[in-house]
Structure 1
Amino acid sequence: MSKLSEQDIEKRLLHLPEWDYYDDAIHAEFEFDNFKDCFSAMSRIAFECEALNHHPDWSNTYNVLTISLSTHSAHGVTDKDFALAKAIEAIVEPEDED
């Protein structure tokens, strides 16, 4: 898997407005109503990570989930990172219920 150019990354991020690119990774932070909802989203994301065989650097503090994606073997961002970011978005977005 080859590392994407910065220009390609920025172009792809136009479709993922919650994500930013810096330090050779794409990053996002998601806030939930409470810890239980945050942990539930993390559990669902974990299944996607296993299915894609790609795992994030992530952490949570109470109701906030912070995620960084990069492909360590490519020393930067690849298609795998964007595939996982899209899967994460599909899981997290339904949490916004108005």
Structure 2
Amino acid sequence: MRKGYVYILASRRNGTLYTGVTSDLPGRLYEHQNELTPGFTSRYGVKTLVWFEEHDLIVDAIRREKTIKKWPRAWKLNLIETMNPEWSDIAHYLHGL
């Protein structure tokens, strides 16, 4: 089984959010940032990685993503600010993945 990653991208601090799941976070982030896949993130300029979580199994990451997507916006903001209070782009943490 593969690892999985749940992630949140933002257009800016307190801006538009996107929650996703993938087994290749660096690759998926590259796709978002370079608008290689048409859709929500390219339409709304959602490119900054502000939060992510690693799971040993992709199925666990998928389950977590579905849960987070159902959360109220305030809960998502709190989740981001707990890990990343400045809403910095944390993509540099992916170099070891």
Question: Is the pair's TM-score, using the shorter chain for normalization, greater than 0.5?
Answer: no
Higher Rg of the two aligned structures: 1
| TM-score bucket (shorter structure) | under 0.3
TM-score (norm 2): 0.27
TM-score (norm 1): 0.27
